[in-house]
Amino acid sequence: MVQYDFDRIIDRSGTDSSKHTFDAAKGKTPDMIPLWVADMDFKAPDEVIQRMKDRCEHGIFGYTRVGEGYIRAVQGWFEKRFDWKVPEEWMVRTPGVVYAVNAAIQVLTQEGDAVLIQSPVYHPFNNCIVASKRRTVRNPLVYDGKRYTIDFEDFEKKIVEEKVKLFVLCSPHNPVGRVWTREELTRMGEICLKHHVFVISDEIHCDFVFSGHRHIPFASICESFARNSITCTAPSKTFNLAGLQTSNIFIPDETVREQIKACKSAQHCGEPTIFGLVACQAAYECGEEWLEQLLAYLETSAEKVSAYFAQNLPQIHVVKPEGTYLLWLDCRGLPIPPEQVDAFMLEKAKVWFNDGGMFGTEGIGFERMNMGSPWSVLEQACARIVDAAKKL
């Protein structure tokens, strides 16, 4: 069995990587360790790279259809990993999950309609809602100092009072790292059905789930949830393929599916690129062992980061992740105003995280740390923060 080496540092300079492009005008300089945008500093599985090379060697990159093999690979993955059968006719491909979330907002709501999110949450949800002139309604998650849960009373109250039409669910949740249980999903799904709220379930992080937890696809719970939702998936986070812009969206309801397809057509949005298709198929066919090893590596990294702060700087608390490769750091114990935590990380510690406040006001004083890097890099970042904190 191949042992993958996630400790290896791979130089990404000169590749125009978003994560590693430092822009001094925006206050980002090369002496900072970049642990922000959600891609990983690990190579994709060997089989994915090999199949892309083989396809490249062929040398003809003409118009290409989605083949039978691609469809079977996607279906096979969801059946094997989540015991969920996805009929071929449900599938629509988009150049990214945010594209799909945005398209769904366009076709399922009208200007001025209310769309519900659970803050702090992945910020493009709010951006899409605002850019489409819809109204963002928030059901803030409840933090007890250790773990986040849902305030179901508030969830239903907001839906009724604000006349919510659409709910964008983040499952597993970025940035707080919750993997929603069947009970939680069922309760949300039932409330949505009762009040005719359609659900967009963004499950892009579904493959990152740690010991003791299980990802349940929202639409797999029952047929009525399936018909009342669309599920957004992609191999992009899982296998580090974000630059290939290939997502698989599952839309059980025929009318909604046709609306989303029409939205795509109106924008002349075709199928993914050859390399997106080749990589996705290869990853779902051959990437499972790589993923299992990666999950073990990430889980250990999360434990080590948590232990590092607990030992050296307990003013920073790492919220234990149940899933995703994003760590949510509660930095409100530091002797600085919560609004200044991100500037401290950048300017004093020289570590580039995502400022928690960008995910909603509930995230102020928190930082999102992308742990998809070799442990030595994460350790260096932690050490810099501890050193900088000593000078406060």
Ligand X SMILES: Cc1ncc(COP(=O)(O)O)c(C=O)c1O
Q: Which residues bind ligand X (CB under 6 A)?
A: 38, 96-98, 122, 170, 174, 202, 204, 234, 236, 242, 247
Residue nearest to ligand X (CB): 96
Nearest approach in angstroms of CB 197 to ligand X is: 19
Nearest approach in angstroms of CB 97 to ligand X is: 4
CB neighbours of residue 139 within 10 Å:
23
Considering the complex, state which of residue 97 and residue 316 has its C-beta at the smaller distance from ligand X: 97
CB neighbours of residue 191 within 10 Å:
16
Tokens of 203: 């499950």
In this structure, which amino acid lies at residue 5? D
Nearest approach in angstroms of CB 200 to ligand X is: 10
Nearest approach in angstroms of CB 192 to ligand X is: 19
Dihedral, CA of residue 200, residue 206, residue 210 and residue 211, to nearest 10 = 90
Tokens of 79: 């059946």
Nearest approach in angstroms of CB 163 to ligand X is: 25
Give the relative orientation of helices 68-82 and 274-286 as an angle to the nearest 10 degrees: 40
CA distance 105 to 134: 8
Nearest approach in angstroms of CB 307 to ligand X is: 26
- The residues pairing with 249 across neighbouring beta strands, listed in sequence order, are 92, 232
Nearest approach in angstroms of CB 178 to ligand X is: 12
Considering the complex, state which of residue 278 and residue 313 has its C-beta at the smaller distance from ligand X: 278
Nearest approach in angstroms of CB 373 to ligand X is: 15
Considering the complex, state which of residue 103 and residue 385 has its C-beta at the smaller distance from ligand X: 103
How many residues are recorded in the chain?
A: 392
Considering the complex, state which of residue 102 and residue 388 has its C-beta at the smaller distance from ligand X: 102
Considering the complex, state which of residue 140 and residue 172 has its C-beta at the smaller distance from ligand X: 172
Considering the complex, state which of residue 226 and residue 234 has its C-beta at the smaller distance from ligand X: 234
Question: Shortest CA distance to 293 belongs to which of 53, 27, 46?
Answer: 46
Considering the complex, state which of residue 97 and residue 385 has its C-beta at the smaller distance from ligand X: 97
Considering the complex, state which of residue 234 and residue 278 has its C-beta at the smaller distance from ligand X: 234
